[in-house]
Chain A
Amino acid sequence: MNRKTYLLSRFLQLAATFLVILTMLFFLFRLALPDPTTALVVEGLSSEEQQLVRERFGLHLPLWQQYFIYLKNSVFLGEFGTSFHYKAPVAPIVFDKFLNTMILMVVAILISYTIGPALGVLLTWKRGGKLEIGGIVTGLVFRSAPMFWTGMLAVMFFGVYLRWFPTSGMRTLPFDSSGFLDTITTLDFLHHLVLPALVVSLYYMGLPMLIMRNTMLEIMGEDFIELCRAKGLKERVVMYRHAARNALLPVVTQAAITIGLAVGGQVVVEVVFSWPGLGREMLQAVRTSDYPMAQAAFMLMAFMVLAMNFVADVLYGVLDPRVSLPREGR
């Protein structure tokens, strides 16, 4: 299998998986709501308007036809219905919230995937010492501490007690902004970003650190490291320039996968910091039984997981020419 056909087959697999998830969602929601009209029609519409919505979603047609209309609407038309809560189309709202989540997660993951691997190298370098055990324990502790808890502690200490950082939202209210870019290109935004980004990156840091350490341990046994040492290179150069570079691959692919999962996976951080992101939106949708919103948010989250897994596959092939396709892994 050459690379192109491999990637193509992975892409088809992605599409098929997404289709299965869409199907599952369709039937799950139909299971929950035998009368789909309630899920798609906002209360308070006139009967003619209700009729219009019904026709657009094909609610008068048999179930299998409804299913295809649902697929067409959600995949090709980006039509997810009208939010019960906002009384407005779901898609633009979901997209806004998605950007808010992404900016937080990408920053946090960048931080943890810069510092984490460096620490991983350090742990391998200082092997067998107190530093190694300390590093592993710290990494595991941060991974086991639930993020909503560390977030609450951070708010309590840095926000309320020391008053260093604001503790909720993306900007100090009230603020004017003409769009997403306008919102995030301010110092005020950065100030708001510090605490949530810190909490998320501390949680994520352990994984790349431990992955890096494991890969490094494997690589340290290889011949070219011996050769480097024989050339008389400093240990620091051997570690960071030669060994680390070759050990980065699993970390990079893990970073891509983590970004995909983070879109939907970190509801709690958004809740603790009142960050107006997708996860918080979805929680609110669940609380208020805003079915179209919950459905669209979930679709986007699942899609991001799939897409970033695909990106990880692509990166894997691009970065490591030795890799034998197809690979086996998590």
Chain B
Amino acid sequence: MRNTSAPRRSALWKIYGKMFTEPLRVIVRDPLALAGLVILTFIVLVALFAPWIAPYDPDEMHRKVEGVLFRLSDGEARRLAAEWPFPLNAVTMRGDEIIAVGGGGRIVRFEGGRWVEEATSTESELFAVASGERTYAAGDGVILRKDEGEWRSDLVREGTAFKGLSLAGNSGLAVGEDGAVLKLSASGAWEEVPHRERGKMASASLANENLGFIVGERGMLLRYERGSLRREMVRAFRDLNDVHAYTPDFALAVGARGTILHFDGTRWREMFGPETRDLRAVRIVNEKLAFAVGPFGVVLKYDGTNWTSVETGYRRNFRGLGSADGAVLAVGSDPFINELSPPTRDHLFGTTHLGRDIFTQTVYGSRTALLVAILASLVVSFIGVNVGLVAGYFRGKTDDILMRIVDIMYALPFEPFAMILVLIFNPSIWIVILAVGLLTWRTNARVVRSQVLSIARRPFVKAARAAGASDFRIMFVHIAPNILPLVFLQLAVAAGFAITAEATLSFLGLGPPRMHSWGTILHAARLSGAWRTAWWWIIPPGALIMLTVVSIFFIARALEVLSNPRLKNER
């Protein structure tokens, strides 16, 4: 430490450098304090680099898409697949192979209990899939065909969203939302079916190579027979979403507001089901069994005469049905808010009831905590040290008055006082700092005062006074450096208190609005009502408050030795 070439600097370093090295040395020597310092450093780093550490925006509502596959049969509704992270629009079964299509041109094969993606040449959304001799998929501007295990573009038609697709033997039918109707000829080419219908078409179904039905918006129901279209007489006026022709004598169509239409070979007739919500898809298994599905997990069963609801325990949207032997397959799911998700790889601490990432919120919360801790403890120390210095130095009347003020401050309970401040002003980060500042300096002032009282009697102070130093100079140049260890200690204690105080006020909903703090996270959890079970939402912010404050306690405990050397022997 000694530097002979610069004696003056070395002397200064001896005095002021010690102020920093000594506390550090004390902390490093005490294992608890060292642990505290490490934790605190970590939290400070997290706060500084929050935007880089946090993977998301703290207010972002995360959506989640989950493809789902159900097998619906007479006796049961069973969920088959594990999650597939994209929505599935339609499904078909050919032999043992289950194939589903969905967003982003994705075609997936269900194999061994999980989804396997198949390579495609398109990125358009696919709406329909059907299998006859071959398997076809249709979507936004494209129809794909599976040839020898490979998907190829069979038709590209910009601007037409193919919503419906049906195959029967060598024949096939595809309808577009824009009203395009294409038939698959025996040669394997798609040919336009001329017609004069207007309106969006939603689905098509062939009962055999020559007969089929097409449905669309506002009750559109068309009969396709040997290459031509004819309007069916039907009294439906709501949008129809799907149709399934089982035989030329039995077909079902479903649509908006629980509409169900039944075809008995001669005419269409409206049926009454137990559901008033939309139905998206319908599929017939045999004369005595059919299913219809819709959004919000709606599943209806038809037993040949009546429709009844089937409970699946699943609340998300079903989009499509496909035939399987003796049963139907249901696929679906729209993107939904990923609410109250327990910790996953994407969300380390899970999500809130609004789908917000708790890890991100916790990381940003450290900023608020440290900001309040630093500002509030500076305010507290500034007031406390000055009051203590003045009271202890001047004594007498000044001391009396100042200490009476301190007594009054001691009578103010913290939370209620802060609440009054919030009632009168508006909640903000400054109210929190003001409350902590106004109410915590009392302890600092008392402790500093008693130290100053004893220092002011020491010979060097008398010497300074005899040398003609002003009161101001004696207080701040001669006495103040001697109480610095104590001030650091009080600073640490005040910082710990400020963090708890901010968390408490935020938890009560009185904290700074639109700021992320550990208390706010817990406040939101309590408001949502989910806190009684969502442990992942509760544990991280509270644990961080505890870790931060206890680290400060550990460090303060070690620093106490500096300001009160008597303790050294006791520890």
B550 within 8 A of A: yes
Q: Which of A141-181 contact B (CB under 8 A)?
A: 141, 143-146, 148-150, 152-153, 155-156, 159-160, 167
Assembled-state Cα–Cα distance A144/B545 (Å):
8
Chain B: CB-nearest residue to A271 = B508
Closest Cβ–Cβ distance, residue B29 to chain A (whole Å): 15
Min C-beta distance of B369 to chain A, whole Å? 12
Chain A residues, CB < 8 A from B532: 155-156, 159-160, 167
Asked if B268 is at the interface (CB within 8 A of a chain A CB), the reply is no
Question: Does B419 have its Cβ within 8 Å of any Cβ on chain A?
Answer: yes
A108 interfacial by beta-carbon distance below 8 Å: no
Q: Which residue of chain A has the shortest Cβ distance to B450 in the bound complex?
A: A328
Interface contact A144-B411, CB-CB below 8 Å: no
Chain A at the B interface: SS class = helix
Say whether A141 contacts B546, CB under 8 Å.
Answer: yes
Bitwise, B413-455 to A at CB < 8 A (1) or not (0) is 1111101101111000000000000000001001000100000
CB distance from B523 to the nearest CB of A (A): 9
Q: Which of A32, A137, A150 contacts B423 (CB 8 A)?
A: A32
Asked if B179 is at the interface of the complex by the 8 Å CB criterion, the answer is no
A297 and B423 alpha carbons, distance in the complex (Å)? 13
Contacts of B526 in A (CB 8 A): 152, 271-272
Assess the B32–A294 pair: CB atoms within 8 A. no
Segment of B113-121, B198-206, B496-504 in the binding face: B496-504
B412 interface residue per 8 A CB criterion: yes
Q: Check: A71 CB closer than 8 A to any chain B CB.
A: no
Is residue A122 contacting chain B, with contact meaning CB distance below 8 A?
A: no
Name A17's contact: one of B32, B411, B509 (CB within 8 Å). B411
Say yes or no for A323: interface residue by CB 8 A criterion: no
Q: How far is the CA of A103 from the CA of B278 in the complex (A)?
A: 56
Q: Which of B335-343, B483-491, B534-542 contacts A (4 or more CB under 8 A)?
A: B534-542
**Beta-carbon contact of A267 and B508 below 8 Å:** yes
Partner of B419, one of A21, A152, A294: A294
A251 at the interface (CB under 8 A from B): no
Q: Is the CB of B408 within 8 A of A149?
A: no
Are B414 and A140 interface neighbours, CB within 8 A?
A: no
Q: Which of A255-309 contact B (CB under 8 A)?
A: 261, 263-268, 271-272, 279, 282-283, 285-287, 289, 291, 294, 297-298, 301-302, 305-306, 309
- Select one of A28, A153, A156, A305 contacting B411, CB under 8 A: A305
CB distance from B216 to the nearest CB of A (A): 51
- Contact B415–A148 (Cβ < 8 Å): no
A268 contacts B411, C-beta separation under 8 Å: no
A140 and B415 form a contact (CB under 8 A): no
CB contact between B550 and one of A13, A140, A286 (< 8 Å): that residue:
A140
Is residue A130 contacting chain B, with contact meaning CB distance below 8 A?
no
- Size band of the interface chain B makes with A: 35 or more
Is A316 in contact with chain B by the CB < 8 A criterion?
no
Contacts of A28 in B (CB 8 A): 420, 424
Given contacts A148-B522, A309-B411, contact A286 B422 (CB under 8 A): yes
Question: What separation, in Å, do the CA atoms of A148 and B415 have in the docked complex?
Answer: 13
The interface on chain A, measured as residues whose beta carbon lies within 8 A of the other chain's beta carbons, has a size of: 57
The answer, among A140, A156, A263, A271, for a CB contact under 8 Å with B553, is A140
Query: In whole Å, how far is A104's beta carbon from the nearest beta carbon of chain B?
Result: 15
Interface SS of B by simple majority: helix
| CB under 8 Å from chain B, chain A span 1-45 | 13, 16-18, 20-21, 25, 28-29, 31-32
- A298–B412 Cα distance when bound, in Å, is 9
For residue A156, give the distance in angstroms from its CB to the closest CB of chain B: 6
Structural contact, A330 and B443, CB atoms closer than 8 A: yes
Whether A145 contacts B546 by the Cβ 8 Å rule is: yes
Task: Please encode chain A, from 31 to 75, with 1 for each CB lying within 8 Å of some chain B CB and 0 for all others.
Answer: 110000000000000000000000000000000000000000000
For residue B533, CB closer than 8 A to chain A, the reply is yes
Across the interface, do A263 and B538 meet the contact criterion of CB distance under 8 Å?
no
Q: Indicate if B410 sits at the interface (CB-CB under 8 A).
A: yes
Q: Which residues on A sit within 8 Å (CB–CB) of B410? A: 305, 309
A279, B415: Cβ atoms closer than 8 Å: yes
Q: In the complex, which residues of chain B have a beta carbon less than 8 angstroms from the beta carbon of A20?
A: 408
Q: Is the CB of B408 within 8 A of A144?
A: no
**Does A102 sit within 8 A of B, measured CB to CB?**
no
B570 and A217 form a contact (CB under 8 A): yes
- In the assembled complex, the Cα of A146 lies from the Cα of B510 at a distance in Å of 16
B554 at the interface (CB under 8 A from A): yes
Q: Does residue B507 face the partner (Cβ distance < 8 Å to A)?
A: yes
Q: Chain B residues near A217: list those with CB within 8 A.
A: 570
Given A137-B32, A267-B415, A305-B411, A286:B510 Cβ within 8 A:
yes
Q: How far apart are the CA atoms of A57 and B481 in the complex, in Å?
A: 53
A23 to B357, CA, bound (A): 47
For the complex, what is the distance from the CA of A162 to the CA of B210, rounded to whole Å? 65
Which residues in B have their C-beta under 8 angstroms from that of A267?
A: 415-416, 419, 504, 508
Q: Which of B411, B420, B507 sits near A146, CB closer than 8 Å?
A: B507
B509 neighbours in A (Cβ, 8 Å): 287
CB of B51, distance to nearest CB on chain A (Å): 26
Residues of B within 8 Å of A328, CB to CB, are: 450
B263 on the A face (CB < 8 A): no
Residues of A within 8 Å of B425, CB to CB, are 32
With contacts A18-B411, A141-B550, A263-B413 taken as known, whether A152 is within 8 angstroms of B538 at the C-beta atoms is yes
Instruction: Across the interface, name the chain B residue whose C-beta is closest to A153.
Output: B538
* A306 interface neighbour in B411, B500, B507, B545, Cβ under 8 Å: B411
B329 within 8 A of A: no
Chain B positions within 8 Å of A272 at CB level? 526
**Of B503, B531, B548, which is within 8 A of A156 by CB?**
B531
Please, how many angstroms separate the alpha-carbon atoms of A285 and B508 in the complex? Answer: 13
CB-defined A-B contacts under 8 Å, sample of 26: A16-B404, A21-B408, A29-B424, A133-B32, A140-B550, A140-B553, A140-B554, A141-B546, A144-B546, A144-B553, A148-B507, A149-B538, A149-B541, A152-B538, A156-B532, A156-B533, A156-B538, A265-B414, A265-B415, A267-B415, A267-B508, A285-B423, A287-B509, A302-B411, A305-B411, A309-B410
Known pairs A16-B404, A298-B420 / 14 extra A-B pairs, C-beta < 8 Å: A13-B407, A29-B424, A140-B550, A144-B496, A146-B504, A149-B546, A152-B526, A155-B531, A160-B532, A265-B415, A282-B419, A286-B423, A294-B419, A298-B416
Chain A contacts to B: CB under 8 angstroms: 13, 16-18, 20-21, 25, 28-29, 31-32, 133, 137, 140-141, 143-146, 148-150, 152-153, 155-156, 159-160, 167, 217, 261, 263-268, 271-272, 279, 282-283, 285-287, 289, 291, 294, 297-298, 301-302, 305-306, 309, 328, 330
